[in-house]
Homo-oligomer: A and B are copies of this chain.
Amino acid sequence: MNLRTPGPTPIPNDIMETMMNPMIDHRGPEFASMLPRITDNLKTLFLTDNEVLVLTASGSGGLEAAIVNLLSPGEKVLAVSIGSFGDRFGRIAEVYGAEVIWLRKEWGLPVLADEVGSYIDQNPEITSVLITHNETSTGVTNPLQEIAKEVKNRNKLLIVDAVSSLGALPCPVDDWDLDVVVTGSQKGWMVPPGLTMISMSERAWRANATAKMPVAYFDLARASEAAKRGQTPWTPALPLFYALNKALELMIDEGLESIHARHQRVADKVRTEVMAAGLSLFPKDELYCSNTVTAVNALDNMDIAEFRSEIRSAGVIFAGGQGKLSGSIFRIGHLGYIPDSEIDEALQVLRKFFK
Closest B residue to A238 using CB positions? B192
Give chain B nearest CB distance to A313 CB in angstroms. Answer: 11
Contacts known (A192-B238, A320-B27); A217 close to B60, Cβ less than 8 A: yes
Given contacts A58-B235, A214-B97, A239-B192, contact A8 B20 (CB under 8 A): no
Contact of A240 among B96, B213, B214, B239 (CB under 8 A): B239
Q: Does A5 contact B (CB under 8 A)?
A: yes
Chain A 183-195 interface 0/1 with B at a Cβ cutoff of 8 Å (1 = within): 0101000001110
Q: Is A283 an interface residue (CB 8 A)?
A: no
Interface residues in A221-240 by Cβ distance below 8 A to B read 233-240
Shortest A135–chain B CB gap in Å is: 16
- Name which residue of chain B comes closest to A236, CB basis: B193
Within 8 A of B (CB), among A295-318: 312, 317
Q: Does A143 contact B (CB under 8 A)?
A: no
Q: Which residues of B contact A91 (CB under 8 A)?
A: 216
- Asked, given contacts A56-B194, A58-B56, A64-B216, whether A22 binds B7 with beta carbons under 8 Å apart, the answer is no
Instruction: Judge whether A192 and B237 touch: CB under 8 Å.
Output: yes
The verdict on A253 contacting chain B, using a C-beta distance below 8 Å, is no
* Interface mask (A232-276 → B, CB under 8 Å = 1, otherwise 0): 011111111000000000000000000000000000000000000
Query: A57–B217 contact, CB under 8 A?
Result: yes
Measured between beta carbons, the chain B residues less than 8 angstroms from A121 are none
A52 at the interface (CB under 8 A from B): no
Give the residue of B17, B95, B186 whose beta carbon is less than 8 angstroms from that of A235.
B186
Q: With A3-B23, A95-B215 in contact, is A194–B58 under 8 Å at CB?
A: no
Q: What's the tally of chain A residues with a CB closer than 8 Å to chain B? A: 54
Q: Which of A11, A97, A217 has the most CB of B within 10 A?
A: A217
Closest chain B residue, CB of each to CB of A60: B234
Does A339 make an interface contact (CB < 8 A)?
no
Which residues of B sit under 8 angstroms from A97, Cβ to Cβ?
A: 214
- Chain A residues at the B interface, C-beta cutoff of 8 Å: 1, 3, 5, 7-11, 16-17, 19-20, 22-28, 56-61, 64, 91-92, 95-97, 184, 186, 192-194, 213-218, 233-240, 312, 317, 319-320
Question: Given the complex of chains A and B, what is the CA–CA distance between A1 and B215 in angstroms?
Answer: 36
* Contact (A26, B193) CB under 8 Å given A20-B19, A95-B216, A214-B96: yes
Q: Give A139 to B128 CA distance when docked, in angstroms.
A: 46
Residue of A23, A96, A237, A239 with most chain B CB atoms under a 10 A cut-off = A23
Identify 20 residue pairs between A and B in the complex whose beta-carbon atoms are under 8 Å apart, listed by A's number: A5-B25, A8-B23, A8-B24, A8-B238, A11-B23, A23-B192, A26-B193, A27-B320, A58-B217, A58-B235, A61-B217, A64-B217, A95-B216, A97-B214, A186-B235, A192-B239, A193-B235, A193-B238, A214-B214, A217-B218
Q: Are A239 and B19 in contact (CB under 8 A)?
A: yes
The smallest beta-carbon distance between A254 and chain B, in angstroms, is 20
Indicate which residue in B3, B23, B27, B235 contacts A22 across the interface (CB closer than 8 Å).
Answer: B3
- Residues from chain B with Cβ under 8 Å of A1 in the complex: 22, 24
CA distance A91 to B233 in the complex (A): 15
> In the complex, A1→B23 CA distance in Å?
9
Nearest chain-B residue to A21 (Cβ)? B16
Residues on the B chain within 8 Å of A24, using CB = 1, 3, 8
